[in-house]
Amino acid sequence: MNLTHLHLDNTWTLFLDRDGVINERVVGDYVKEVDAFIFTTNALQAIQKLSALVGKTIVVTNQQGIGKGLYTHEALAQVHTHMLNHVTNAGGKIDAVFYAPHLAAENNVLRKPNIGMPLQAQAQFTKINFAKSIMVGDSLSDMQMGRNIGALCIWLGTDVIDAHWYDYAFNSLADFANSKF
């Protein structure tokens, strides 16, 4: 797909969901430890390519398994350190990881589809302009969060959702990265 009209440069921000985008989902469970974290096919190369096109690359991830007591903040930090090390070693860049440990029922402002995590990112990186942002995800809450901040929304996967929630759809992060920019 040709996306050259976006004119991506260092004024753009790429928001990435984690589970199902960067790493494989654990069906019916959570990534509770490093050994369960498996990158999606060609995700490292995709992040390397995409992060070179934009100013900031930010991971935003709901992690209600912490709220359920299934794993700790420390275990999640180890998973994220593992992820970041592999991304860096592959020549990519993730500038920050924000997560919401809250239960879905709490409807906490940090939890997607709410916009707390992008606002945290904007507070840390004050040049983030949501109108020049891309949200890449594989769940409706990812697309809703993207719409809520006015970002371009990229839907990943083969599940069917109403097309008004996204601007472009791809099978994977690697397919999106292989678009013509």
**pLDDT over 90, % of the chain:** 94
pLDDT at 178: 95
95: annotated active-site residue: no
41 by Cβ neighbours in 10 Å (0-12 / 13-18 / 19+) ranks as middle
121-180 pLDDT, tens digit per residue, is 999 999 999 999 999 999 999 999 999 999 999 999 988 899 999 999 999 999 999 998
What does pTM read for this prediction?
0.97
Amino acid at 31: V
Query: DSSP assignment, residue 40?
Result: P
Catalytic residue, candidates 17, 138, 142, 167 = 17
Nearest to 16 by CA among 181, 179, 177, 180: 177
DSSP output for 94-139? --EEEEE-S-GGG--TTSTTSSHHHHHHHHHSTT--GGGEEEEESS
Catalytic residue, candidates 19, 95, 142, 167 = 19
Quote the CATH superfamily of domain 4-177: HAD superfamily/HAD-like (3.40.50.1000)
17: annotated active-site residue: yes
Q: How far apart are CA 121 and CA 15, in angstroms?
A: 10
Domain ranges within the chain, ordered by starting residue: 4-177
pLDDT at 1: 80
